[in-house]
Each structure stands twice: as structure tokens, then as C-alpha cells.
Structure 1
Amino acid sequence: MQRPGRAVQLVGLTAALAAAAGTAAAGLAAPTSPASAGSSLNPAQAEALSAARIERRDLGSRDMSRFELSLSSTQKATQEAKAAQVAKARAAQLAANATITERRALALAAAKATAAKKAAAATKAAAAAKAAALAKAAAEAKAEQQAEAKERSAATSMRITLPTTGYHLTAHFGQGGSRWASNHTGLDFAAPMGTPVRSVLPGEVIQAEFAGAYGRQVKVRHSDGTVTSYGHMAEFSVNVGDVVAAGTQVGAIGMSGNTTGPHVHFEVLLGGSDQVDPEPWLRDHGVNP
């Protein structure tokens, strides 16, 4: 479908061509000689004909100029319209590009924020894990120290000593003879009068009294229920209910009770009543009488 402006251009062009053709035809027509002109047209007619031809030529020239102006104006308008369309398209493209750029920037910022958040969370988790590991290590170290301290304490509490010093053994467990009503029930450590007699293990004093043939006797009950007995002493250094450590003095070498010389009669009673040989018992606990 032709545009209206284009149709006007064609009409104007057609008219201009027609006028030009008429002018050209008039110009190309055989010149009429004065004689022939005079024979066919009078001067007034000839002048009128010439004026008409000139007018048609001028009209054709004006129409051509108008057509050219109209065509130029149309072309200019078309070019301006195309330029406006191109500018509009470029503006739309620029706007689209700006939108894409903005979206990319927002997406990048969001990605960076997410990455930073994850990194912060990872750092926090690592710090928490490190703190937990340090706390665990500290707790384990403390528990180990406590266990070692407990072991040392237990070892110290079970540390054993001999009943006295500067002694020599004068009678052994199960030994018979006229000195005793039955076989000997303990181990005799002979030493000078007044030599300290000590508890062989930590424990509680459950007896400190004169006990007939045993003379002045002290009994100490230990943590495993074993009772150790110290007899024939010259004096007491403890009272019933006292808590003693290994090596605590409970009395002194004497000759009280049934005895032929200064010594301490040492007995070991498992469970508080079963008399056993003190020598292997002392060796089992780390000392050699």
C-alpha cells in the first residue's frame, strides 16, 4: 500500500512531466514563418500563443521546483523519522543494558554477601570447634592430672614402712617354744628401749591399752580392713580414734607384758581377725624386714 505522501509526489511528478512535455513539444514544433504565421494567425493570436507557451513553461518549472521541494521535505522527514527510530532503539538498548548491568551488580553483591556470610559462619564454626577442642584438651589434661594426683595420693596412702628401726628379728611367725603358750603369732623386732614404734600403713587407731601378755598394745585398722598390732611397748603416742599416716609414731619399744627383752611384737590380722605371717605380707607391700 502506497503512502499518501508518496501518491502526492507521483501526481506532482506526472503533472510536471506533462507540462514539460507540452513545452518541449511546443518548442520542437516547426517554427512558423512569418509568412505562414501571417497566413494562419494574426499578430494578436501569435502573441497570445507565445504568452501561453511561456506561461506553460513557467508553470512546469514552478511545479518541478515544488515537486523537488516536496520530495526533499519528504526525504528529510523520512530521514528524521528513521533517525528518531534509531535513537529510540539505541536508548531502549542502553536502558536494557543498564538494567542488565544493574541486575548483574545486584546479583554480584548478593553473591558476595552470601559468600561473606558463609565465610563468617565457617570462621565462627572453626573458632567454636577450636575452642571446644581446647576445652576438651584442657579437660582431658585436668582429668589426667587429677588421675595422676589420685594415683600418687593412693600410692602415698598405701606407702608402707617397717614398725621400727635399728632392730634385729628375734622371733618369727609360727615359731614354737617354751616362751609362748602356743606357736608365735607375729614377728618380733628387738631394738633399744624407747626406740619409736611406727604405724606401717595409714589408718585409724582402734585400740591403745594394756592387753595382758601383749602389754601396752596399739591396733590400727587400715583402708582394706586389715589390722596391724604393736605390743610390749613402753608407752603410747596415740589414742583411740586418731587417724595416722604411714610412719606415724604410735609408741616406743618397751618390755611390758610377757617378754624377755625390749622389742615390739608385730602382728597382721586380715579382716581384723585372721592372723597371717607378717614377713611375706610386708614383702608384698614393698618392704623387706
Structure 2
Amino acid sequence: MSPQHDLPAAPRRVAKHRLSRRSLSRRTQLIGITAVLAAAAGTTAVGVASSATGPSTASTGLSPSQADALTAARVERRDLGSRDASRVDLTAEANRKARAQQAAKLRSARLAANATLTQRRALALAAAKAAAAKKAAAQARALAAAKAAEAKAEAEEKAKVKVVLPTTGYRLTARFGQAGGRWARNHTGLDFAAPLGTPVRSVMAGEVIQAAYAGAYGRQVKVRHADGTVTSYSHMSEFDVSVGDTVTAGQQVGAIGMTGNTTGPHVHFEVLPGGGDPIDPEPWLREHGVNP
């Protein structure tokens, strides 16, 4: 070759060496910057291998095995962190489930307690209603029994034959069977002596069958009663009833007088069962509840 062709060759080689140095410098700077950033982030940068140069280079001065160990440790720490995070998440989920289960148990317990309380209240209310109904039924039965007893007593009272004495304010001056010159035979009744005009009453309810003057008996009234017994009232000064009248026990039929065969004002009272012969009025009156 001629020298003219050899002169430009040298600058090309110089340019190649400069480019190589610049590339190496840039790689070194890049590795240095990466190391600084990795150090700031808490990690260690690993050298970048160049396919052109072959061997790897690190700005931290670590060998490839140390860099690999550091990378593996970093990966393991990341995995441990992930596992720890997973454990924390699992623990939180377990705690949440436990709290939910506890809350559900509390709700169930409250619902059961409310149901029990409601049932107890319902039972108590039913028992109170049953007791009130039982009490009301007992009171109704007692009231009905009282009314029945009252009605029975009233019926018995009505069924009883009411008897009264023939007059008031009296004294007995002659008894049944008594003998004396004033009577043609022994005395046939009771003499109730009382002031003139004292009312004479029918001893029982009945019908007036006589109201007339009867000789020695003077003004005389006879009353027939439901059992057929006839009572007689004599020597009265007046009549207050007529034949056919219906009288009640105690109703006035006349007044004390002195008509007929008598020595003083009185009413001669006789009892004639079935309208026949007279009997002693005293025991008859006592049998009917009055004591002359």
C-alpha cells in the first residue's frame, strides 16, 4: 500500500479506543448510579455483565457468588414478608370470623332469653286468666247458691202458714175446758180481755163464712182457712168484714166488745178443725208458732 492510504488508519484506531473507553466509563457510571439507588432503597446492586467483555463487574466490590447470595437473601426476605403478610391477613380473618361467631352466639342467646321470657309471660298471663276465670266461676256459683238459698227460704216462708194472735194488749181471763156458772157447759175457747174497741184480727188467711149476731156469742165472725180449720171470734162490738171476703193473717175483722153473754169486754176465740167441735186453742196456737 502507498503511504497515502496508510495515514487515515491511525485515527480510526484511536477513535475505536476512545469509544471503548467511553462505553466502559458509561457502564461504570451506570453501575455506580444503580448501586447508589439500590443502597438508598436498602438493597445492593449487582454488576452488569457485558456480552462483549465476558466477565461481570460490580461497583460494590462483591463477587458474583456474594451477589447471588445477597439476591437470594433479598428474595427470601420478600417471600418471608409475603408469608408474614399472609399470616397477618389469615389472623385478621380468623379474628373477624371469631368475633362474628361470638356476636351470633350473643344474638342467639338474647333471642333464646327473649323467647323464654315471652313464654314465661304467656304462661303467667294464661295462669292469671285461668285463676280469674276460676274465681269468677266460684263467685258465680256462690252467688247462684245464695240466690237459690234465698229463693228457697222465701218459698218456705211463703209455704209456711202465717199465724198471729187474735188481739193485742190482752190478758187471758178464761181457758179451754174451764167450768163455771157463766157457761151452760165447760168453756170452749180462750177469752182475750182487752179495752173496748181494740182490733180483733184473723189469726190466719182465709175466707169469711159468717159475720152475724149469734145469741150468747153476740156479734160473731167465722173464717175458714186453707186446711179446712175454722176460727171463731165472738162478743165483738162491730163487724169489719162481710161473708165471702178474703182476709189475710192479721187483718182486722172486728173490735173488742161486750155483746152476748159476757161480764166484760173481751173476744172469745175458738178453733174448730174441719168446722167441727172446738179444740183447745192454746196448743194449736203454739204449734203454729205463737204463744198466747
User: In which range does the TM-score fall when normalised by the shorter chain?
Assistant: 0.5 to 0.7
Secondary structure of the residue aligned to 2:238 is strand
Cα displacement string for residues 33-77 of structure 1 (whole angstroms, at most 9, x for unaligned residues): xxxxxxxxxxxxxxxxxx85979x732122112211211111112
Quick one: which amino acid aligns to residue 120 of structure 1? L
Q: Distance in 1 between matches of 2:200 and 2:263?
A: 15
Distance, in Å, in 1 between the alignment partners of 2:193 and 2:97 is: 121
Note if contact 1:172-1:184 (Cα within 8 Å) is conserved in structure 2.
Answer: yes
Q: Which runs of 5+ in 2 are unaligned?
A: 1-53
Q: C-alpha root-mean-square deviation of aligned residues, in Å? A: 4.1
- The answer to whether structure 1 residue 280 and structure 2 residue 283 are counterparts is yes
1:197 equivalent to 2:235? Answer no
8 Å CA contact retained: 2:167, 2:198:
no
> For 1:161, what is the secondary structure of its paired residue?
coil
In structure 2, the partner of 1:98 is: 103
Q: Kindly tell me: are residues 260 and 58 of structure 1, through their superposed partners in 2, closer, same or farther at Cα, counting changes over 3 Å?
A: closer
Matched residues, percent identical?
Answer: 40
Q: Which runs of 5+ in 1 are unaligned?
A: 1-50
The residue aligned with 1:264 is 267
Residues 215, 233 of structure 1: 8 Å contact kept: yes
Equivalent residue in structure 2 for 1:206, among 198, 205, 208: 208
Q: Normalising by the residue count of structure 2, what TM-score does the alignment of the two structures yield?
A: 0.61
| Counterpart selection for 2:86 from 74, 81, 96 | 81
- Seen in structure 2, the aligned counterparts of structure 1 residues 63 and 184 have a Cα distance that, compared at 3 Å, is same
Aligned to 1:228, the other structure's residue is in SS state strand
Displacement of 1:107 in angstroms is 0.5
Look up the match of 1:238: 241
Contact 1:160–1:286 at 8 Å: present in 2 too? yes
Q: Which of these residues, 219, 223, 226, is aligned with residue 222 of structure 2? A: 219
Equivalent position amino acid for 1:96 in 2: Q
SS of equivalent to 2:177: coil
* Cα separation, 2, equivalents of 1:234 and 1:53: 172
Confirm or deny: 8 A CA contact 1:203 1:222 kept in the other structure: yes
Task: Give distance in 2, aligned partners of 1:74 and 1:211.
Answer: 149
Indicate if the aligned counterparts of 1:171 and 1:188 stay in contact, CA closer than 8 A: yes
Query: Does the 8 A contact of 1:158 with 1:202 survive in 2?
Result: yes
Counterpart-to-counterpart distance in 1, 2:276 and 2:115: 85
- Distance in 2 (CA, whole Å) between partners of 1:120 and 1:191 is 74
Q: Normalized against structure 1, the TM-score is what?
A: 0.61
**How much does 1:94 deviate?**
1.5
In structure 2, relative to structure 1, the CA distance for the partners of 1:255 and 1:167 (3 Å cut) is farther
How far is 1:202 from its partner? 3.6
Matched with 2:23 is: none
Whether the 8 Å CA contact 1:205–1:218 is kept in 2: the answer is: no
Closer, same or farther: CA 205–173 of 1 in aligned 2, 3 Å: farther
Q: 1:176 Cα shift?
A: 8.3
